[in-house]
Amino acid sequence: MLNKSLHLDTSGFFSSLAQRGAEALDMLMMHTHTAATEKTLPLLGISEAARLIGISTVYLRKLETNGEVLPPAKDEAGRRAYTMEHINKIRGALGRLPQNSSRQGLVIAFANLKGGSAKTTTSAHFAQYAVRQGYRVLLIDMDPQASMTSLFGYNPQLHIAAEETCAPALTQDSDNIRQSIRKTYWNRLDLIPSNLNLVGAEMALLNMDENSTRLRNAIDSVAADYDIIVVDAPPALGLLSINVLCAADYIVTPIIPTMVDISSSIQFFHILESLDNLRLARISLLITRFNGGSEHVRAASMLRSIYGDTILTNQMIESAELLKSGNDMVSVYEITEVRGSRETYRRAISAFDSVNQEILIHAKSLWDSDAVTTARDNKQPKIKGAV
């Protein structure tokens, strides 16, 4: 029998911990509030601006000189300094903004029921990459742990109220999703934040009808306003995750190349098979946190042999620059000063660009086909990339 003296005396224990946490949050409030309201993006030089627009620097200078587009402000060194908003205005003037599809925005869910797979990191970077290409993006944080919300500069428990999450749209009227959408410091990127109140919403869903498609209905009410809706799913099986999976046109599953994660992926596929309300048109597996070691190489090779074209060609590398940016609560696209070597930074950017470009190519192929329309009409579509 367990020694009774080992039993934890919880009398006042948890309330004491909660009080200490509240005091610490109060101390952090001003700092986190400043981060949320004053967070900005690095200004881009003319070479990067021209690359994003898809023209040469010579042509961009010519357009500015001729007054066909407005020149940007200059930095302290007198160099051209472009914002994403300015770049999109130039795209608009040149007719180079992505063509809006007549269909509703494509829903791309980043989902894995195992934690630690870099799901939030990959979904945030894809959303930001798509915005850098000129797309209108809505990013929805469906994880009660709210790491995505924190990445955008908010303290979830201090700055986000229950009605500012997806909770009202899930448990009340789907149109309530509009009141939860907020602008971010990224031009053309909106966010629906999260916090622990989503746990309560998940419990409430247990007693509701059609409780697996409420997020889908909410997203459909605003989908026409966006080209892409990116959803960060919670790393656990529950009604929140099921709602994300049932809302998705395209699922991207980050997976670390280890035997444990391969085993977890099998269970994930069994769960997808059991869901009746999917409208999925494509699924891809993305190898993440790849370190180049022999064990990762072997496991990655096994994944490719097992799942074939379902595995994305590109993979997200484990990067020192990524670890540093994570500690600073920024993405690699938001880094203003490279703290390591310039080569390490370039490798990180290149890896994310390659991964995100591949995902976007698959998304565009769905726009150009009838796969999404067929799936949304519940006509038993053939899932591209299926295993």
Rounded CA separation 86/36 (Å): 22
pLDDT score, position 117: 82
Q: For residue 333, what are the contacts with CB-CB under 8 A and spacing of at least 6? A: 41, 125, 128, 129, 132, 349, 352
Residue 367 dihedral angles phi and psi, to the nearest 5°: -60, -40
Q: Which of 315, 259, 263, 261 is nearest to 284 (CA)?
A: 315
pLDDT score, position 8: 57
Rounded CA separation 354/282 (Å): 19
pLDDT score, position 386: 43
- The whole-model pTM stands at 0.87
The pLDDT tens digits along the chain (387 residues) read 445 455 555 567 667 766 676 566 556 555 555 566 677 888 899 999 999 999 999 999 999 999 999 999 888 888 999 999 999 999 999 999 987 655 668 999 999 887 788 899 999 999 999 999 999 999 999 999 999 998 898 888 888 888 899 999 999 999 999 999 999 999 999 999 999 999 999 999 999 988 999 999 999 999 999 999 999 999 888 999 999 999 999 999 998 888 888 888 888 888 888 888 899 999 999 988 887 788 888 888 888 888 888 999 998 888 766 666 666 677 888 887 777 778 878 888 888 999 999 999 999 998 877 666 666 666 444 455 543
| Domains and their CATH numbers in the chain | 14-97 (1.10.1660.10), 106-376 (3.40.50.300)
Any idea what DSSP says for residue 384? B
Contact 66, 28 (CB under 8 A): no
State the Cα angle at 357 between 352 and 359, rounded to 5°: 100
Contact 43, 85 (CB under 8 A): no
pLDDT score, position 1: 47
**Residue 12, SS3 per DSSP:** coil
* Alpha helices (runs of H) in the chain, residue ranges in sequence order: 13-38, 46-53, 57-65, 84-94, 119-132, 147-151, 156-159, 167-171, 177-180, 197-205, 214-220, 239-247, 259-274, 294-307, 320-327, 342-367, 371-376
Any idea what DSSP says for residue 116? T
| DSSP string of 320-381, one letter each residue | HHHHHHHHTT--GGG-SS--S-HHHHHHHHHHHHHHHHHHHHHHHHHHTSSHHHHHHTTS-P
pLDDT score, position 35: 63
Rounded CA separation 278/274 (Å): 10
